[in-house]
Amino acid sequence: MSPQVSVLIPAHNEAGYIAACLEAVFDSDPLPGGMTGEVLVLANGCSDATAALARAFEPPPGWTLEVLELPEGGKLRALNAGDTAARGEILIYLDADVMVSPALIAQLAAALADGAPRYASGRPQVAPARSAVTRAYARLWVRLPFFTRGVPGFGVFAMTRAGRERWGDWPDIIADDTFARLSFAPAERVQVAAGYSWPMVEGFRNLVRVRRRQNAGVTEVAARFPQLLRNDDKQPADGRAVLKLLAADPAGFLVYCCVALAVKTPLFASQSRWTRGR
């Protein structure tokens, strides 16, 4: 019997994260309605033990595990290979440094079980950071409308096969999560109650580099796929909301503003489209 749920994990030199990621997936609640699942670890261009660590896992009943070793790095190339290999009717895309809560995968599967073109994600939680700067930035960031409203989907998002058929290969872009989210109208996007833990990069310099990359990714999607902007329901904070953010956390507000200003300078430019600043 073919699996109904496919969890695709693109991984480039993720030896420090892949074990915790897979442990969380395989500790998940049972899938609904007798569904079965598969996990595809898409080890792309790895020079570390990512693939070996993944292969060491024994999946629980109802799950299978396959590790695809791709010689070249590149997340979008890995996603295309994973989509070709995946057998499920529900596709869950999971970053290798994310840890899902026990209920998340089952809730995503239930939300997409009818097969209609739909997109889903869970409730993100920023993992505890070592850097005081990152902790301050995160405190403000999780109060922003992008985080508190809608279905942002960074780190993990899911869709039905019918939804995935809206485009061919994944385009070679920076912001695959933004592209995926905007390929669905707001009414087609569902946020389930279960959460997941997503790590934010450590330190001011890395925050600036990643924020610049994120901004470039959004700009790229807008330029190459302007038709998708009709599905954007993000709302900027108004003046009153900004004052509330300042009053609630002055230190976090200051750090957030400093990062936003530094993004506009060339001092923290990165040579990589994909760096997370670890």
Domains of the chain, each with CATH number or no CATH? 5-268 (3.90.550.10)
- Flag whether pLDDT at 63 surpasses 90: yes
Q: Can you give the length of the chain in residues?
A: 278
Report the predicted TM-score, pTM, of the whole model to 2 decimal places. 0.93
Mean pLDDT of 185-211: 96
- Amino acid 58 reads E
Q: Residue 117: is it exposed, middle or buried by C-beta count within 10 angstroms (0-12/13-18/19+)?
A: middle
Looking at residue 277, its pLDDT comes to 46
Query: What is the tens place of the pLDDT at every residue in 65-112?
Result: 999 999 998 999 999 999 999 999 999 999 999 999 999 999 999 999
Check residue 6 and report its DSSP letter. E
Separation between Cα atoms, residue 211 and residue 194, nearest integer Å: 26
- Flag whether pLDDT at 271 surpasses 90: no
β-bridge pairing 156-160 and 119-126: antiparallel
Separation between Cα atoms, residue 171 and residue 251, nearest integer Å: 39
Separation between Cα atoms, residue 1 and residue 33, nearest integer Å: 14
- Amino acid 176 reads D
Looking at residue 101, its pLDDT comes to 98
Mean pLDDT of 28-36: 94
- Spatial neighbors of 225 by CB under 8 A, at least 6 apart, are 171, 179, 182
Query: pLDDT tier at 127 (50, 70, 90 boundaries)?
Result: very high
Looking at residue 8, its pLDDT comes to 98
Check residue 202 and report its DSSP letter. P
Instruction: Please check whether residue 205 is in contact with residue 184, taking contact to mean a CB–CB distance below 8 angstroms.
Output: no
